[in-house]
Amino acid sequence: MYQPTLVETFEEMLQNRLPNFYRLYLNPYVAQACFCLGEYVKTTWNQQNNYQTFLANSFDEALSGAIKLARYNLSLAKRSTSGLIFDPHAQLGPFVKTKARDEYVEFLPGIIVVDSAEELQRVARLSDRFGFLVILAPCDETVKQMRQLVERDDALAIASVNRDRLAELRKSELKKAKELSPDIVIFDESFVNNEVPFGAFTAPKKLYDCWNQPSKKTFHSTTFQPNTVSSLHFMRCLAYTDATFCQSIAEQLELIQTDIKFRAQIFSDCYNPSLLKAMKLTKFMTADVEASGEFIYSEGRQIFDSVSGVACSIRGHNPQNYLEELRSIEDKDEQIELTNQLHKYTGLENMLPAVSGASGVENALRLALTVQHPRRHILALKGGFAGKTLFALTGTWSTSYKQNIDPLYANVIYIDPFADDTVIQLEAAMQKYPIAVVLVELIQGVSGVRAIPEAAIEYLQTHREKYGYLLLIDEVQTGMFRTGLFSRSRSLGLIPDLLVLGKGTSDMMFPFSIVQYTESIQQRLNALESDLIEKIRSRYKYPVGYRTVLNVLQHSEQMRLSDQVIESGILFEKLLREGLASSSAVRDVRVFGLLIGIELNDTHWPQRWFRKQLFWFYLASMLKHSSYSVLVGFCQAEPNVLKITPPLTTKPEELRKICSTIVEVLNRPFIPLLASGITAMI
């Protein structure tokens, strides 16, 4: 019997040159997927609300987002933000805590997990009121107790469903379970046959309103979302597994595909209104968008994509031989082969899979805190960014991403790596706290593309034995040859205890990331009789992810990619510094291989009036450049820094054209550029 395959999904993407990790694409499959999930909730629980959905890369990421959304609303209402999760089938894994011998190592405070009806009753009697309750795989036997708790505490109800459980609910096989109408519904990887990273959480728009405000448009996001491979595969699987449901909304699905205005409305209502506004501003609200190699093609425009999924691209969009290349390594044990290959590059003996930069950082922190138990303290750097999921926020400095979602992991010390007395601060922290792990981005990609000073790195490298902490390096953006050598760590002579790789691990095709760690950590886990490794590995066992990274490594050797990136970075820096030497619009140029930041000068008038939107005027002018259009990005935490991360295989002649456009636009007088930008906005 026919079943949709991931290979067929890839074939459709490649044949039609569908953009994958391109946020400005008005993606019909994203709009369709979010519309379908909202309709599922409406028709399963007989609701009349308008629903909005956030896509994630896994059940874990979706659960994290759902809890954040619940806590945000509860906090605004000045209610309890503590939660109870009922997990009768051990689906949760190490999300909240893990066991090391006879003790638990906790990662997320303010959440109680129970696995039986008896335990649920006991907790209900003894605990204070809960703000939210999560029920995994709702069933008739337990939903009555959960409903009583929801009513007692006036709590928000979160339900997680897999494909089979949703089908049972829709057929009214679980009549009592349907009596608990959830405020938020989580969908897991079963909806894509567990073949590609996927998760989602759907809630009434009134809950999402707090995140739809202009100041919160990037409050919650994940590394690889939105993307085409997951959403398209979801739609293909849905058409096969629930043809009746698809037929009931066939007219709307067809309109999303064919009517661009209707698609835009659904995209805004059901997924992300702020992202649609960005598409309108950049003139990408069109069905005519394709992606191939280094370029985006839209309504006759050829645009060089120097954002490339924010450092995701090794060799551009839709590598034509991608599937054939993966088939050529199918006969290998992907996990063992990749572990061995990565060991050659980094010196780290062991590897764990993940599905985004955030999930990679979370898993690395879980490993570190488990083997270092009872040490609890994490040292992170001000300006750092580790992601926006609940536990990854531990390594994210900006408080703007943490508002109204407490409690978060509390034992964190932040040190300013750019202070004159950084080393003194580090020494004081080491003496005062039992630091378990130090988390470092060697270049802070979100906070202005700034390299951590050598003095701080040297201290952290040389004091590990004295103070007993583990060194965790986050190379989600700097790894996979982005800054020259395979990892920035290696170029600095560092061998960390844990290393996180992401972005380039995807090859712009498959959401995937990696955690590497030492044999010493593995031995300590064994001594603790911990099953943490097995639980994490079982959650993210994607053969295509392993093969994609193996394929990148194979091509990197054939193309001498490290040398090529180093040479490209030298050329980029030369052209930019020469061309912008006298530009009053630029304060600084920072080049690390093909990770480039251009800091705009926002101290003059009228630039100061538009400080937070200054990047837009330059971005818009580069996009509509008459001879060579270029898409550039900007740093979320410091939007006055333009960010450039082109494909690593970009040839010198293309680099020269990119730099020519950038230099020309940044040398233009600001007043005409401002007038042109405002006209475009209007």
Show the domains of the chain with their CATH numbers: 6-270 (3.40.640.10), 322-557 (3.40.640.10), 561-681 (3.90.1150.10)
Distance CA 548, CA 554 (A): 10
Map residue 121 onto helix, strand or coil: helix
Distance CA 322, CA 328 (A): 10
Distance CA 12, CA 231 (A): 13
Distance CA 299, CA 262 (A): 19
- Number of neighbouring beta carbons within 10 Å of residue 89: 9
Please give the single-letter amino acid code of residue 433.
Y
DSSP sequence for 137-151: S--HHHHHHHHHHHH
Residue in the structure block whose two tokens are 């090529």 = 564
Distance CA 45, CA 184 (A): 12
Q: Where are the beta strands (DSSP E) in 321-376?
A: 350-354
Q: At what angle do helices 250-258 and 260-270 cross, to 10 degrees?
A: 110
CA angle 660, 666, 671 (to 5 degrees): 140
Distance CA 80, CA 152 (A): 13
The reported pLDDT for the residue numbered 43 is: 95
Backbone φ and ψ of 631, nearest 5°:
-95, 120
448-460 pLDDT, tens digit each = 999 999 999 999 9
Distance CA 609, CA 612 (A): 8
User: In sequence order, which residues have a C-beta less than 8 Å from that of residue 264 and are 6 or more positions away?
Assistant: 26, 276, 279, 285
| Per-residue buried b or exposed e for 229-253, using 16+ beta carbons within 10 Å of the residue's own CB | bbbbbbbbbbeebbeebbeebeebb
Map residue 178 onto helix, strand or coil: helix
User: In sequence order, which residues have a C-beta less than 8 Å from that of residue 354 and are 6 or more positions away?
Assistant: 360, 362, 363, 500, 502, 512, 513, 514, 515, 536, 540
Strand pairing class (97-100; 103-106):
antiparallel
- Number of neighbouring beta carbons within 10 Å of residue 208: 23
User: In sequence order, which residues have a C-beta less than 8 Å from that of residue 253 and are 6 or more positions away?
Assistant: 32, 35, 36, 246
Q: What DSSP element (H or E) covers 164? A: helix 163-170
User: In sequence order, which residues have a C-beta less than 8 Å from that of residue 549 and are 6 or more positions away?
Assistant: 338, 505, 507, 512, 514
Distance CA 134, CA 208 (A): 18
Distance CA 631, CA 638 (A): 18
| Per-residue buried b or exposed e for 286-301, using 16+ beta carbons within 10 Å of the residue's own CB | eeebebebbbbbbeee
Block means of pLDDT (10 residues each) for the chain, 682 residues, are: 89 98 97 98 93 97 98 97 94 95 94 92 85 89 83 94 94 81 97 98 97 88 91 97 97 98 98 94 93 96 96 95 92 91 97 97 98 97 97 96 97 98 98 98 97 97 97 98 96 94 97 98 96 96 96 95 98 98 95 98 81 86 94 93 98 98 94 78 64
Distance CA 482, CA 495 (A): 18
Distance CA 45, CA 17 (A): 38
Residue in the structure block whose two tokens are 């599905």 = 355
* Side-chain-facing half-sphere of 627: CA atoms under 13 Å: 10
- CA-based R_g, the chain, Å: 25
Which tokens in the block code for residue 305?
């994509």
Q: What is the pTM of this model?
A: 0.96
For the chain, the maximum distance between any two Cα atoms, rounded to a whole number of angstroms, is 73
Burial classification of residue 550, based on how many CB atoms lie within 10 Å of its CB (0-12 exposed, 13-18 middle, 19 or more buried): buried
DSSP sequence for 657-669: HHHHHHHHHHTS-
